[in-house]
Each structure stands twice: as structure tokens, then as C-alpha cells.
């Protein structure tokens, strides 16, 4: 009955191929994780820029409404267009802010999963690669032992 390293019945080249695939996967998934982080950062920046733009627009519309209401004239000025503009800018600003909160919540929730996965890539996966290398080394050593000496 085969024991120890001889108990491993495997094609060494296939094992080496799988080891290389594991290493490639680790690097590729690091890139995936980085790109995921980049996407979050880009979306946050984009939403912040939109919020800033609508905040400025709201202030401008409010100033125009104030100017309309303060205008001198024999009849009361019709400021309904300015009122609508203020309402619309305010609604859009709030809409963007709600999406900012939703993205922050999603990114926060995802952060835990992402951290755990990075640990897997940095710790567990190299351990698996080392284990596989040790198996390959043992198998190669066993193959070098002439028949009858085991």
C-alpha cells in the first residue's frame, strides 16, 4: 500500500499548471478589487460634484427669486418662474443627496466583504499556493526514488 508522498497520485504537470493558474488568479483578483474601489471613488466624486453644482444653482435661483420679490414696481411682480426654479433646484439637490447616502451605505456594507476578500487574496491564497508547491515538490522527490526503495 502506498504511503506518504507516494499516496499522491497526480500528474505533476497538471498540478504545476493549476499552481500557475492560482497565482494568475490572485493577481487578477487584486486588480478586480482595485478597480472596484476606483469605481466607488469615481461615483462618490461624481455625485459630490453634482451636489455642489445643484447647491450653487439653488443659491443662484434663490437670489433671483429674492431680487424679483424686491423689485420696485406699481404692481406686484410675477415671480412664479423663479419660485419654480428654486423648487426644482432644491428637489434635484435633495435627489442627488439621497443617492449619495445610498451609495455611502452600499459602499460601507461592501467594505466588510471587500476587506475579507483581500485577506483571502493576501493570506489564504498564498497559503494554498505554498501547500500546492509542497505537494508538487514531494511528488517530484517521490518520483526520483527508484522503484522498490519506498
Partner 1 sequence: MTARPDRDGGEQLGLLGAAWEDVAQHWQDEVAHRFETDHWTPLAQRSRAYLAALGALLDVLETAERETEF
- 86, with CB counted inside 10 A (0-12, 13-18, 19+), is buried
Under rule CB under 8 A, residue 64 binds partner 1: no
Under rule CB under 8 A, residue 142 binds partner 1: no
Nearer to partner 1, 41 or 81 (CB): 41
- Is there a contact between 61 and 85 (Cβ–Cβ < 8 Å)? yes
Q: Cα angle vertex 25, ends 125, 31, to 5°?
A: 105
- By CB under 8 A, the count of residues binding partner 1 is 47
- 38/56 Cα distance (integer angstroms): 27
- Residues binding partner 1 (CB under 8 A): 7-11, 14-15, 17-18, 21-22, 24-25, 28-29, 31-33, 35-36, 39-40, 43, 46-47, 50, 92, 95-96, 99, 102-103, 106-107, 110, 113-114, 116-117, 120, 124-125, 127-128, 131-132, 135
Amino acid at each position: 500500500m502506498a504511503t506518504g508522498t507516494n499516496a499522491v497520485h497526480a500528474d505533476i504537470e497538471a498540478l504545476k499548471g493549476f499552481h500557475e493558474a492560482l497565482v494568475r488568479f490572485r493577481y487578477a483578483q487584486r486588480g478586480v478589487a482595485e478597480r472596484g474601489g476606483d469605481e466607488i471613488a469615481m461615483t462618490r466624486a461624481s455625485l459630490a460634484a453634482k451636489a455642489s453644482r445643484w447647491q450653487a444653482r439653488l443659491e443662484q435661483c434663490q437670489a433671483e427669486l429674492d431680487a424679483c420679490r424686491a423689485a420696485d414696481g406699481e404692481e406686484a411682480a410675477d415671480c412664479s418662474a423663479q419660485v419654480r426654479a428654486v423648487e426644482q433646484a432644491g428637489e434635484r439637490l435633495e435627489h442627488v443627496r439621497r443617492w449619495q447616502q445610498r451609495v455611502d451605505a452600499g459602499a460601507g456594507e461592501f467594505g466588510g466583504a471587500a476587506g475579507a476578500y483581500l485577506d483571502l487574496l493576501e493570506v489564504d491564497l498564498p497559503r494554498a499556493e505554498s501547500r500546492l508547491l509542497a505537494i508538487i515538490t514531494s511528488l517530484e522527490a517521490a518520483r526520483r526514488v527508484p522503484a522498490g526503495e519506498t
